[in-house]
Amino acid sequence: MRRVVVIRQATVAAAAVLLAGCGPDPRDSVTDPASPQAAHIDALWTLILWLGTAVWIGVMVLLAVPLLRSRRRRRERPAAHAASTGRSDPVPAEATPSPGAATAPAAELDEPLAVADPREHLDAQTDQRVRSRLLWLGGIVVPAVILLVLLVAAGRVGGLTAHVERAGELEIEVVGHMFWWEVHYPELGITTANEIHVPVDRPVRLNLTTDDVIHSFWIPRVHGKIDMIPGRENQLTFEPTTTGRFRGQCAEYCGIAHAQMVAFLEVQEPDEFDAWVDQQQRDAVEPETESQLEGQRVFLDAGCAACHTVAGTEAVAGVGPDLTNLASRGSLAAGIRPNTRDDLRELIIDPWGVKPGNPMPPTILDDDELEALLDYLEALE
């Protein structure tokens, strides 16, 4: 009795853990598409999930039947079972299978059917026909039919989701860096980082390249991933149909901070997008307060300008992300921190603590300089 209770408690605990696992909705799931491309792939997933589950259950039933039957048989014929385990039982000569094909090896492909206990020989012969039916139907015919269906489905979805040039598409260049994403809008003259703004219901084409190693660009809710490979340019086309802020991570291992290379796709209503474009096309906001002016001086003198650009100032370097509109972004350090004053302060003085492997060095500033710099950066809308 106690054992039953323990088992029941264990089952309840396991179920609770599983429920906890399934509880909160995932933030960005492949099964929650926000574009026709992702929707086609999701439909394919639904098809293969059900077909695959059906096939697996079918095979498991085939597996379970003999296991149960074998138990029953063993109960029914304990004598035969004992004979087949031990070898003490002398076998009558007439039960030995005929040595017909003994001298012709090639003829012995499957005949005569060999068994450990010769008394089961006849029994075994009667299985032959069903056995070959199982192999033919279960092993070849049924899988072949299913696979043909899936081949057609995969080809069709592939055709619907692969990159094709479309009229009126918004072209964006995304460049992978260790460990952030550089974003250009060549037609709009905008450069930003890690957050890609696009209008809803308009085809978008991403031209993907890399500045260093292989990265892979992936926003699960709008499309599958595609690699950024040195010496090549890959394209990804999709048409977002839902507004929202969609998250994605670098999918190809790219070095120490691979886990902390996040991109956001911000799908906006067309008027919001236009307002954003307007804001981004302007040069950086001029510092107004004394503290902001001091902050700009710190920015230009303390080494920040060696790597970063702020349009309209002397800072024009392209090693790190463009900071012209830093304050308009929702996140910092390639999408791993919210864009708050505290996080920004931590990123400046301890970049390797925020993101181990970050190429950005720590900047040594006294408190006044640091606060002034933050005032300046926070004004860069």
Partner 1 sequence: MSAGTGQPADLQQLDHVWGPRPGFVGWLGQCNHKAVGRRFIFTAFAFLLVGGAMALLMRTQLAVPANDVLGPDAFNQLFTMHGTIMMFLFVVPMLEGFTIYVAPLSLGARDMPMPRLNALGYWVYLLGGLFLLSSFLVGAVPDSGWFAYVPLTGPDYSPGLNLDFWLLGVTMLEVAGIVGAIEVVTLVARFRAPGMSIFRMPIFVWSGFIASVMILFAFPPLVAGTVLLELDRKLGTVFYDATAGGDPLLWQHLFWWFGHPEVYIQLIPALGMAAAIATAAAGRRMAGRTAVITALVAIGILSFGLWVHHMYATGIPLLATSLFTAASFMIAIPSGVIVMAFIGTMWWGRIRWSAAMLYVVAFVFVFVAGGITGVMVAMVPFDWQAHDTYFIVAHFHYVLVGGSLFPILGALHFWMPKLTGRMLDERLGVVAFALNFVGFNLTFFPQHALGLFGMPRRVWTYQEGLGWDGLNLVSTAGSYVMGLGMLVFTLALLRAHLPGAPTAPDDPWGADSLEWATASPAPNYNFRSTIRVRSPEPLWDRRSTLGDRDGPDPDPPEWQRRIDTAESGLRQAVATTGLDARPDHIVTLPGHSLHPLWVSLSLAVLLVGVLVDAGVLAVVGLVGLVAASAAWLWPGVE
Residues 258-297 that bind partner 1 (CB under 8 A): 258-260
20 binds partner 1 (CB under 8 A): yes
| Per-residue binder mask for partner 1 (CB under 8 A), 348-377, x = binder | --------xx--------------------
d(CA 168, CA 210): 25
Token reading at 164? 């094709």
Shortest Cβ distance from residue 229 to partner 1 (Å)? 6
d(CA 133, CA 119): 25
Judged by CB under 8 A, which stretch of 55-63, 185-193, 306-314, 373-381 contacts partner 1? 55-63
Token reading at 318? 């392209």
Among 97, 303, 318, 359, binds partner 1 (CB under 8 A): 97
332 binds partner 1 (CB under 8 A): no
> Pairing mode, if any, of strands 262-268 and 244-249?
antiparallel
9 binds partner 1 (CB under 8 A): no
Angle of helix 367-378 versus helix 290-301 axis, rounded to 10: 100
Of 158 and 361, which CB lies nearer to partner 1 in the complex structure?
158
Helix, strand or coil for residue 338? strand
CA angle, 159 then 202 then 32, to 5°: 65
39 binds partner 1 (CB under 8 A): no
36 binds partner 1 (CB under 8 A): no
- CA nearest 126: which of 139, 136, 113, 117? 113
Of 84 and 313, which CB lies nearer to partner 1 in the complex structure?
84
Judged by CB under 8 A, which stretch of 93-101, 263-271, 282-290, 312-320 contacts partner 1? 93-101
Of 170 and 213, which CB lies nearer to partner 1 in the complex structure?
213
- CA nearest 185: which of 169, 174, 200? 174
Among 5, 23, 88, 92, binds partner 1 (CB under 8 A): 23
Among 7, 12, 59, 79, binds partner 1 (CB under 8 A): 59
d(CA 305, CA 285): 16
Among 169, 227, 343, 346, binds partner 1 (CB under 8 A): 227
60 binds partner 1 (CB under 8 A): yes
- CA nearest 344: which of 367, 368, 370? 370
Shortest Cβ distance from residue 92 to partner 1 (Å)? 11
Among 9, 11, 74, 269, binds partner 1 (CB under 8 A): 74
* Spatial CB neighbours of 119, under 8 Å, sequence gap ≥ 6: 80, 83, 91, 95
